Structure 1
Amino acid sequence: MPQMLFLLVALVAMAPPAHASDATRGQALYQARCAACHSPDFNGVGPAHRGVFGRRAGTARGFAGYSPALKSSGLVWTEANLDRWLANPEALVPGQAMGISLPDPDERADVIAFLRSLAKARE
């Protein structure tokens, strides 16, 4: 029995540490994967992201390109909903218009940390 306990402790000690989300890495990923369509401050192909946390999906000021599916989804952008959205937008909101996903959970966590770091939308 003591050998089993030792083995278990050794395995836990060798396990890689859990990923801590990093807004700086998230900003680089955002620039590489999201900036073709999105900006923190300006609507483009997709809506601006500054102030996205707590906002109801499909309601960014001045953006008219939302799909009817997203506008009627009732989603509020929380960390959990953003994670589900970035993992597979179509699974979360069938009929939505975003054709990109971030399958890697660590990348999603970093992008979400970056989005969280953005100040509220300018009024």
Structure 2
Amino acid sequence: MAFALLPIFLCLLTLLPIFLVAQAQSSDNFTMGASHTASGINSAWLISPSGDFAFGFQHPVEDKDLFFLTIWYAKIPEKTVVWFSSRDNPAPRGSKVELTADRGLVLTAPNGSELWKTEP
């Protein structure tokens, strides 16, 4: 089981720094502590420099009040997901993903409980 998750984890480790560096270089608004909240629409927080990938929240098809933190292909009509966090624990509406200096990228529920995080 853990071995099956290895390719997904490696993909995330490869793609996420590209998003963070690209956003930091292209916008003065991206700083440590920047955050993005799961709202009623699928929304990107970061776009890769090429525009090929996006990172943010998307709904599972069956529930518009739950979200997955995802990386998806942004240039094709069907926003095909490449990676998403925690299949067994989707984020409820109002959840927030934040970049922190001490904990890395952290996804929290509206009540403040931690749903998922990277290592700093």
TM-score (norm 1): 0.27
Name the structure where helix makes up a greater proportion of residues: 1
**Higher RCO (Cα < 8 Å, 6 or more apart):** 1
TM-score (norm 2): 0.28
Higher radius of gyration, 1 or 2: 1
